[in-house]
Amino acid sequence: MTPVRPALHYLALGDSYTIGEAVAESACWPNVLVRCLRRAGVAIDDPIIVAVTGWTTDELAQHMDALQLKPPWDLVSLQIGVNNQYRGHSADDYREQFTGLLARAIALADGQPDHVLVTSIPDWGVTRFAREQGRDGARIAKELDAYNAIARAEALQVGARFVDITGISRRHPLLLADDGLHPSAEQYALWVEAILPAAMAALRPSRAP
């Protein structure tokens, strides 16, 4: 009789994009990702999502302190920084705080950086909200590109996985929730198509007999 492997555990850290602001709970990308993993034969629990609309890097860190999260998690995703950019925080501050969060994510993944999945920040400057508010889309794109370059470099330097979904947000600016700012369920599904291979690769070692 083949032994039954215990279900894997997934922790999703982030902000409005992780919690799925303005869409059904089932449509947020961590929940969609888990459904796709299960269809691929991965036994995995529902994600534990630590994310609130509006959080910056330091606010996420403070909430993690309060929760006193403990390892091990088989998969940890981290997507954070849009509100740093929105509030005008510097890229240097973002780098310092992001690297701290990344180190904590790796520790929560039981010290295995390849079980940490960093997802880039989408470009809200292409949204209807940004246009209606008269925002400078070119400036937003430039600042988010700088943030994402930092996240990519820091993730790859320590051996974490990085998935760029920013291009998807730019190619599909009309796939938005009713608020005109956050992605629609359809856009989140496209994100998951990009994220799924990295998540599968991260979990493959955990699934070995």
Share the mean pLDDT of the chain.
Answer: 95
Residue 174 lies in a domain: yes
Query: How far is Cα 95 from Cα 82, in angstroms, rounded to an integer?
Result: 13
Does 3 map to a domain? no
Are 80 and 98 contacting, i.e. CB atoms less than 8 angstroms apart?
Answer: yes
Q: In angstroms, how far apart are the furthest CA atoms of the chain?
A: 64
Encode pLDDT of 90-129 as tens digits.
999 999 999 999 999 999 999 999 999 999 999 999 999 9
Report yes or no on 104 lying in a domain.
Answer: yes
Q: Could you tell me the pTM of the whole model? A: 0.95
Overall domain count for the chain: 1
Q: How many CA atoms lie within 13 A of 76 on its CB side?
A: 27
The confidence score (pLDDT) of residue 204 equals 87
Q: With respect to residue 149, please indicate whether it lies within any of the assigned structural domains.
A: yes
Quick check: is 15 in a domain? yes
pLDDT at 49 over 90: yes
Per-residue pLDDT for 23 more than 50?
A: yes
Confidence of residue 209 (pLDDT cuts 50, 70, 90): very low
Whole-angstrom distance, CA of residue 189 vs CA of residue 115: 21
* 4 in a structural domain: no
Tens of pLDDT along 126-175?
999 999 999 999 999 999 999 999 999 999 999 999 999 999 999 999 99
For the record, the structure tokens of 104 come out as: 């904590």
Taken in order 193, 195, 199, 201, is the CA torsion positive or negative? positive
Within-domain flag for 114: yes
Better-scored residue on pLDDT, 149 or 2: 149
Interhelix angle 91-108/137-158, nearest 10 degrees: 40
- Joined together, the tokens standing for residue 141 give 């794109």
Domain containing residue 118: CATH number? 3.40.50.1110
Does any domain span residue 92?
A: yes
Indicate if the pLDDT at residue 37 is higher than 60: yes
pLDDT of residue 58: 98
The domain in which residue 46 lies consists of: 10-204
Distances (CA, A) of 95 to 29, 117, 206: 25, 17, 30
pLDDT digits over 6-16, tens only? Answer: 799 999 999 99
> Is-contact 75 40, C-beta < 8 A?
no
| pLDDT-based confidence at residue 208 (cuts at 50, 70, 90) | very low
